[in-house]
Copies of this chain bind each other. A is one copy, B any other.
Amino acid sequence: MTARASRGRRPGAPDTRAEVLAAARASFGELGFRGTTIRSVAAAAGVDPALVHHYFGTKDDLFVAALEIPVDPREVMAPVVADGPDGAGERLLRALLGVWDDPAIQPGLLALARSLLGDDSGPMVRDAFIPVVVGPVLAQIVADRPEDRIPLVASQIIGLVVARYVVALPAMAQMPAEDLVARMGPVLQHYLTGDLA
């Protein structure tokens, strides 16, 4: 009788999904995105890899699920890129502010942001959050050189999130969303499609 059986769990029982997710979070945190595989997560959780695929899909999907945010950033950004590069800066801001300003969603995003800004989670942002979650979507609308443009976009979005929500500078926290869209939209548009040096 194995340890698992002795604890009375069945594959597919409600806590199995949570256990896979906990194993995934531990692995992404310790080994990074590249060092984590569906197979190793399955082994750590004591389940078959097929069950991990069944619950969570691809490794990208598993990573997004492990972030435990109430929205999938890829879905939020889909309409931003669907209409092409024109006006994408403003649409990106509107989509971002729409989820961040939602009181039902903000606490989860804030917890994620604080964790990503923590001392040890630089690799999570560097190796996975931007390249896996954000980069491929934004790459569809940049004019060229995504390797320069996407990090510049990221720098302004990170600064917006930190200034408006994490540190909460009063003027940034209280600025009406549409004012922010009008003032910062041209900046994101510059980074996405403008004449970069």
Q: Give chain A's interface residues, CB within 8 Å of chain B.
A: 114, 116-117, 119, 122, 125-126, 130, 147-148, 150-152, 154-160, 162-164, 166-172, 175, 179, 182-184, 186-187, 190-191, 196-197
**How far is the CB of A23 from the nearest CB of chain B, in Å?**
25
Say which residue of B126, B163, B187 sits within 8 Å of A170 (CB atoms). B126
A151 to B166 alpha-carbon distance, docked (Å) = 14
Contact B190 A130 (CB under 8 A): no
A-B contacts, 27 listed (Cβ < 8 Å): A117-B167, A125-B167, A125-B169, A126-B167, A126-B170, A148-B171, A148-B179, A151-B169, A151-B171, A151-B175, A152-B172, A152-B183, A152-B184, A154-B169, A155-B163, A155-B164, A155-B172, A155-B184, A156-B187, A157-B159, A158-B158, A158-B162, A159-B160, A179-B197, A182-B196, A182-B197, A186-B190
List the B side residues contacting A184 at CB < 8 Å: 152, 155
A191 to B119 alpha-carbon distance, docked (Å) = 30
A166 to B154 alpha-carbon distance, docked (Å) = 13
Contact B196 A183 (CB under 8 A): yes
**By DSSP majority rule, is chain A's interface helix, strand, loop, or mixed?**
helix
Contact B154 A117 (CB under 8 A): no
**How far is the CB of A111 from the nearest CB of chain B, in Å?**
11
Q: Which residue of B lies closest to A147 (CB)?
A: B171
**How far is the CB of A96 from the nearest CB of chain B, in Å?**
13
A23 to B18 alpha-carbon distance, docked (Å) = 47
Contact A163 B158 (CB under 8 A): yes
**14 more CB-based (< 8 A) A-B contacts, given A183-B197, A186-B190:** A126-B170, A147-B171, A148-B179, A151-B171, A152-B172, A154-B172, A155-B159, A155-B164, A155-B172, A155-B184, A157-B159, A158-B163, A159-B159, A183-B191
